[in-house]
Copies of this chain bind each other. A is one copy, B any other.
């Protein structure tokens, strides 16, 4: 079993991730977040939003639709160019991505000698139609990248806020790609979320802002990882660059099943996108400097990452198997800000009304401040095991001593150390330990 296989199994067992439409045999490349995964993903997005939007004066956030006007995707180049080049194996008739073959990453056709046909292009935009009446229908697409919605609203943001260049527009939202070979769990799925920052600058300052954001983003990802050696930059080769890009860097995470994989890209988009949308829409997308009067099309530094793949990398980073007293302990050593529950409250026994009543009071007090799980099942060992597997930083047990001296046992996830804490200090103890 690879670590990924262990993780997939944990995710299903503990309600983190389920295959979508599983009762119908599933649908490749679509995953649902379960009772534990959904709040974890919410927390992860919040941590990003705080980092990029809330704590900065010069970045605002938007939330746009998935379906847009079809011209958007002509302007962006996706209708013509958002395609995978595929080759068909003449023997088994499977199709393979040519770029993956070149990198030596496709290994699903080992038996047929790899006699591949001429590469053909397949567009990976999902199409749909808006309008239900023949003659009034518009064929359009689900957005293939979320950032286009930001370009569409660049003028609206300028007109409705007091932002001046340099400033950024950020967004977290779903995008859809009809991948030929969805694989590696959440890594290459067909429906996924992206977190994007488009930072608008004067062309003269492009270089320094590019380097600024490159550093910011790397440090942020690093801060979320336990194993700091599993993150790196990969600079794109000259022949990988689009014509308007001076450089490009990926932030990569090291997996044990497919080596280094992309987590986020730092892109030199220059004025390409605004020029394209200006051309296709006929609207002037210039910026006029209120101080100098200079008019120009802003250049853009993009930082664009995958929420779901980051989620998966963080789970892989956190997934730990340890031997404790001769037994295997599986524990998710995840950043406490991302855990589904910050604490679990447990009466030592469910059939003792006094304990349950007391525990209920503790639960209620904490739930107004933290995200708290409740577990009144019978076996304390099983309860700890469950909370370890979903990464709950603290377990709080109400036992018979509690009834006498108003103290509870607080058990820490990573060290498994237990400490008696007076109930009245519980909130402060958690605030301090969780660093919130």
Contacts from A to B (Cβ < 8 Å): 12-15, 18, 20-39, 41-42, 49, 53-55, 57, 60-69, 71-72, 84, 86, 95, 122-124, 126-133, 138, 140, 142, 149, 152-153, 155-157, 160-162, 169, 171, 174, 176, 178, 180, 190-191, 277, 280-281, 283, 285, 363, 367-368, 371, 374-375, 377
Contacts and interface: CB of A to CB of B under 8 A. Distances in A.
B162 A377 contact: yes
Given A67-B191, A127-B128, 16 more contacts: A13-B160, A15-B157, A18-B156, A22-B153, A24-B71, A24-B281, A27-B130, A30-B68, A34-B62, A42-B63, A57-B363, A67-B126, A86-B133, A129-B178, A130-B190, A132-B178
Say how many copies of this protein the assembly contains.
2
Contacts of A20: 64-65, 67-69, 149, 152
Contacts of A61: 35, 38-39
A155 B60 CA distance: 40
Contacts of A277: 23
Contact of A23 (B132, B162, B281, B374): B281
Given A20-B69, A23-B155, A191-B67, A55 B367 contact: yes
Nearest to A133: B95
B69 A34 contact: no
A61 B375 CA distance: 17
A98 to B, nearest CB: 14
B124 A126 contact: no
Contacts of A281: 23-24
5 contacts: A23-B155, A30-B67, A33-B63, A35-B161, A124-B132
Contact of A25 (B21, B69, B153, B156): B69
A160 B60 CA distance: 38
A153 B34 contact: yes
Contacts of A68: 20-21, 27, 30
B127 A160 contact: no
B132 A84 contact: yes
Contact of A32 (B65, B95, B191): B65
Nearest to A163: B35
Contacts of A95: 133
